[in-house]
Every structure is written in structure tokens, then in C-alpha cells.
Structure 1
Amino acid sequence: MKKTIFSLMAVVLISTFSCKDESKKSTSEDIIEVVEVNIKGETVTYATDSTTMKGYIAFDENNTEKRPGILVIHEWWGHNDYVRERADMLAELGYVALAVDMYGDGKQADHPDDAGKFAGMVMQNMEEATARFNAALELLKSNPNVDAEKIAAIGYCFGGSVALSMANAGSDLDAVAAFHSGVALPVMPSDQLKARVLVCNGADDPFASSESIETFKKQMDSINADYKYVAYPGAVHAFTSKDADALGEKFNLPLAYNKEADEKSWEELQILLTETFK
């Protein structure tokens, strides 16, 4: 009887270790499927009651999951290749990014005088600016690849001021990031602000006065806003744009690309987005 029991136990033990060995073998031979990222960019048209706009949406077409959507707002030069490149970069990080058109008809400026006029027309008419921003926001939310409950906005120069102003006015955003942006805004921080905020500016940017920065920070602190203000030493206006040096020289403006500030500010953005949408 004992022999029979021992034999049965031996069979059980052999079977158990055999299964374990087989399991290890199976695990070691598992193949991890790597899905290649394939960024697709499409020109999109959308409109308010008075303005038709031409934007650009970028996403990984091999990603079938819904993911956060990011609005990308252009510099005062208008909707150009630069803002589209940033949308592509966000798509590579796994987001759906819509490069918006705040001027209408994809309009661009070739001279600072025209850029100033275009930007001024938007910032001096916040009702129309809000309508254009909201039209882009709704377009992004309606995209089948986007989780409409997870939306952020980023902007450069003029675009940063737009993003901050929209957030201050209570726009439905989870996070906002502004790069080389003015902070003396048409809509200053108030208790309407819901988003987390990141501002990345050049410490030597003459377009961002110390007085305006101090006022901005005081108002953000007064409402206990969740924000971070970063000033990069040695960086001036437009430090994220590789075209800044040529434009600065051409028009005698204090513009210059700063590789270190560009890369560090992009890292700050990734941290903001990761923490917001975790």
C-alpha cells in the first residue's frame, strides 16, 4: 500500500515539476509584439459662425486605443510648418494633436507688422477668439481616437497667451503649457481656472517683463493654482524655434534658438502631460 502511495506521489511530483519546467519554457519563448508607430497627419477644416479655419491633426494610426488630445496653438506668424511639427512630435508620444488655426483660412504673416496685426485682432476680440478656440476644442473631442475627458492645450508665443487666457476663462482643459509666452494676458488668472499650468520662458526674454511675471505669479498664488513657472538662463524669445535666429537677424528682433532650453522645456511638458493623464 505504501509503495502504491509512494508511486502516486512520485507521479504527482514528476508531473508538477514537468509542468513548471514547461511553463518556464513557454514563458521564455513568449514573443512580445512591437507595434510600429506610424504617424499620420491630416489637414482639417472647421469653422465658427463667421470664420473658416484650416488646421492639422496628427496621430498614430496603428494605435487603436482612445488617448488624450492636445491642442497646439501657433506663434504670431500663423499656422505654419513649425506648429505642425510640434503636433507630429506629440503624436509620436502617443497623443492626438490638433494644430489649430486662430487667424482663419490658414493665414500666415511674412512680416512682424502683419503678425502683430493678426495677433492683435484675435487678442482684442476675446469673444471671437474663444469661438475659434472652442471650435478647435470640439473638433478634437469628437475625433474617434480621442478620450474627450482628457484634453490639454499648448502654445508658443502668441499661442501660449491664447492657451493661458482660455484656461483662465474656465475652458474645459486638464493642462496648459505656454512656451516663450507673455503673461500680461487679456484674461488673467481667476477661480475659473481648472487646468494645471506650465509656463516655460527665457530668463532674458525682453517681451516678458519682470513686473508682468510677478503679477502673474501673485494672481496664480492667490487662487492656489497648480502651476510651474520656469525661466531658462540665457534664453530669449522664441527659444524653441530653429528658425528664430534667421528671423531675428532678418527683422532685427531679439529672437534666438536655444537648444538646451528647447529640450528641457519639452521634457517639462512631457512630465506635465504624464502626471496629468496617468
Structure 2
Amino acid sequence: MRPFLPSLLIMSSSLVQADIQTREIPYQSADGTQLLAYYAYDDAAQTPRPGVLVVHEWWGLNDYTKRRARDLAALGYTALAIDMYGEGKNTRHPADAKAFMQAAAENAQSGKARFLAGLELLKQQPQTDASRLAAIGYCFGGKVVLDMARQGVPLAGVVSFHGNLSPAVPASPGSIKARILVEHGEADSMVGPEQVKAFKAEMDQAGADYRFVSLPGAKHAFSNPDADAYQAQGLDLAYQKQADERSWSDMQAFFEKLFGE
């Protein structure tokens, strides 16, 4: 679709940032959990824009997740980085991240309620075209958006970046309404070939409209420049600039087709 202000992409970063408005928005899920979202949009846009939810890695709602929301806003979307843990908490310690993630994953219905609360909040923003919605997720967030697609949440499309591919509840034939893009690191030791094979079989059986991209040499967390810093903590993570840029370009093309007129 053409009203995406492509001129922003060739302007200086300072001028682009001057147009991007951000704010934190407290909200809560149906189970009463207090949540905190980060909203970003381009105030130069004259009409409501497609909205994109951003779901964080297992680290929680941190600066990286918020930066991705701003990146989406610079492309002309409204973007809401949502909170799957509560109160916007985040960490840089793997043990804490694992505990946060496990607690969030224990109750699938609670997790879905938190996602849907974020989706409703995005729809309520005056800059958002509530009829055109998508979601992206990283690592833990990639699994979240795939699970929401499996459960038929009304989204036009979802994108998983280095996400876990194992389902909370496997998709059934016809259950997936959203188009799916998966950006996977070929050298990801945390999401191995058997999981990839099982995911593809599940999607084929469900009749999903999906594309699976395997990025050569890329490890888990390939899109996050902070990934290398976590290697000292025993995690097999690595940033790869080429995979980061390729996957983001794939996402842009996916959304342009998804929301094109």
C-alpha cells in the first residue's frame, strides 16, 4: 500500500525520530494481571494505519523490544510492544528469564488473555486501523504469535523471528486464519531440525498459508545486537547482521503484501 511514507526511509535518523511518538500505557488482562505496553506511531500519518503487536523475547519488555516498535512506526505502522509477564518486568539474567517464561507458559489461557488484552489496546488507539492487524515476536514471543495463529486469533498475519516452533496446542485443519512467516536461524541449537520438521508437518496438515525461511549460519537470537553479550552466560546465542537485515526485509515485504491495496 502506498501511503506508507516511504520518504521516511531515506531521511536522516534525527528527522525520522522527530516524527515518532511513543508512550507507555498501563492496562490489564482478563485475569486481572497488571500489564504495561509501549506504543509507537508516526504522527505525520494522516489516516489510521495497520497495527502490529510486538511480543518480547524471554528477557521481557526491554529496550530491544521497544526499539522494534519504533522501527515499525518508522515504516508507517502503529506498533504496540506488549507485556506477557506483568508490570513490564524484564531482566538480563537467564535464570530469571527462564522463570518468567515458565510462569507465563504454565497457563495457556492466561497467556492468551494477556495477548488479547494487548490486541484490544492496539485496536483502541486512534491511529490504528482495527481492521488490519498483525503480530511479530522474538524467541519466546515468536512462539506466542505462532500459538495465537494456531488458535485462530483474528490477525491478518504473524511473523516469528528465531521463535520456538513447538505448539502449546497443535493446529487443526482450518484453525489457522493468519498468514505466517517464520524467520529461523539454520544454526539455531535451541530449535533443531526435528522441531523444524514437526512444525512444517503441522502447518501442512492444518492447511496453513505459511513461509519458512532458513537463514544460513544464523544462531538463536540472530536479530538482537545484544545477543553476543549473553554468550558469557553459557547461552548459544549470536547476532548476525546479514540475517537480521534479511529477516526484517522479508517482514516488510510480507506486510506490504498483507496490507496492500
Q: Indicate whether the TM-score tops 0.5.
A: yes
Give how far 1:117 is off: 1.1
The reply to whether residue 193 of structure 1 matches residue 169 of structure 2 is no
Within-5 A mapping of 1:236-255 = 236-249=219-232, 251-255=233-237
Cα distance in structure 2, aligned partners of 1:64 and 1:74: 29
Q: Deviations over 1:45-102 (max 9, x none)?
A: 1102321111100000121201100000000000000000000000000000000010
Instruction: Report the secondary structure of 1:237's partner residue.
Output: coil
Is contact 1:189-1:216 (8 Å) kept? no
Structure with bigger RCO (C-alpha 8 Å, 6+ apart)? 2
Cα distance in structure 2, aligned partners of 1:222 and 1:81: 38
Cα distance in structure 2, aligned partners of 1:89 and 1:120: 29
Cα distance in structure 2, aligned partners of 1:82 and 1:160: 15
- Which of 126, 147, 152 is the equivalent residue of 2:134? 152
Give how far 1:109 is off: 2.2
Cα distance in structure 2, aligned partners of 1:42 and 1:192: 35
Give how far 1:209 is off: 1.7
Name the TM-score, length of structure 1 as normaliser.
Answer: 0.85
Cα distance in structure 1, aligned partners of 2:244 and 2:169: 27
Within-5 A mapping of 1:37-116 = 38-48=19-29, 49-116=31-98
Corresponding letter in the other structure for 1:144? P
How many residue pairs end up in the alignment? 244
Deviates more, 1:257-266 or 1:102-111: 102-111
Is contact 2:132-2:156 (8 Å) kept? yes
Cα distance in structure 2, aligned partners of 1:162 and 1:228: 17
Name the TM-score, length of structure 2 as normaliser.
Answer: 0.91
Identity of aligned residues (%): 46
| 2:258 matched residue in structure 1 | 276
| 2:3 matched residue in structure 1 | none
The reply to whether residue 133 of structure 1 matches residue 115 of structure 2 is yes
Is contact 1:199-1:229 (8 Å) kept? yes
Cα distance in structure 1, aligned partners of 2:167 and 2:241: 27
Corresponding letter in the other structure for 2:199? F
Unaligned runs of 5+ in 1: 1-33
Structure 1 segments, 4+ long, off by >6 Å, are none
Give how far 1:276 is off: 0.4
Is contact 1:188-1:216 (8 Å) kept? no
Corresponding letter in the other structure for 1:60? D
Q: What RMSD in Å do the two structures reach over aligned CA positions?
A: 1.3
Corresponding letter in the other structure for 2:202? Q
| 2:186 matched residue in structure 1 | 203
